[in-house]
Amino acid sequence: MTEIIKVGKSAARKAAQVLKNNGVIIYPTETSYGMGASVKSNRAIAEIKKIKGRDAHKPISIVVSDEKMAGRYCKLSADSRKLIQKFMPGPLTLVVPKKKTVPDSLSEKGIAFRIPANKFARDLCRELGAAITATSANFSWEPANYSAKKIIKKFDGKVGLIVDAGTLPNRKASTLFDVANRKIIRAGKITETRILKVLLH
């Protein structure tokens, strides 16, 4: 049975406990609801892929609380740090080389990360003391979910905990930017023009 709790002071602590015990949670981000596992748990990462019906080799992005935490998992270049300082927390996901702390089950090559604008998501990373997966809480063939009611209907009994933040604003997914190649992989609110302006100054 899935535990359902409202966003609040104790919610991050409860959610972090589920993650520490190799569980899977659904939590709010500044875009849509996300499906979370601790990066330390290969078991939970595999479970997310199974729940979503996702290709086992398809990489999953992560969220971190701040630049310092990003540095534990990502090889951050001067360009990466410029973009973090300008656009994060916010809807920008950067693809960078990964460190050995990122398991291959999460990503076999580089790693995509962001510092979310959603305070709960950042608090959750701090409470856990580790990065969390940031894949959208949906089945792979379906669009992202913004409604807690829909989330509960679809995933009750499939995950350990759902953090209910009601209906989230229907926003685009974050811009996905490959730092080494200076190239947008997925368009979002932050445009390539704005990113390159920061990098070229």
At 71-124, the pLDDT tens digits run 999 999 999 999 999 999 999 999 999 999 999 999 999 999 999 999 999 999
pLDDT at 173: 86
Model pLDDT, residue 48 = 97
Q: What letter would DSSP give residue 5?
A: E
Q: What is the pLDDT of residues 100-115, one digit of tens each?
A: 999 999 999 999 999 9
Q: What is the predicted pLDDT for the residue at 201? A: 81
pLDDT computed for residue 172 by the predictor = 85
Report the alpha-carbon distance of residue 31 to residue 168 in Å, rounded.
Answer: 8
Regions of the chain where pLDDT drops below 70: none
Count of Cβ atoms closer than 10 Å to residue 136 Cβ:
21
CA distance 43 to 41: 5
CA 57-106-15 angle, to 5 degrees, is: 135
Please tell me the total count of domains within the chain. Answer: 1
Q: Which residues contact 120 (CB under 8 A, 6 or more apart)?
A: 7, 11, 12, 27, 28, 163, 165
The token pair that represents 150 in the structure block: 């829909």
**Which domain, by its residues, includes 59?**
3-199
CB 87 within 8 A of CB 109: no
DSSP for 13-53 reads: HHHHHHHHTT--EEEE-SSSEEEE-BTT-HHHHHHHHHHHT
Find the CATH number of the domain harbouring 120.
3.90.870.10
Tell me the backbone φ, ψ of residue 72, rounded to 5 degrees. -75, -25
H helices of 53-117, in order, are 67-73, 78-87
- 163 by DSSP, 3-state: which? strand
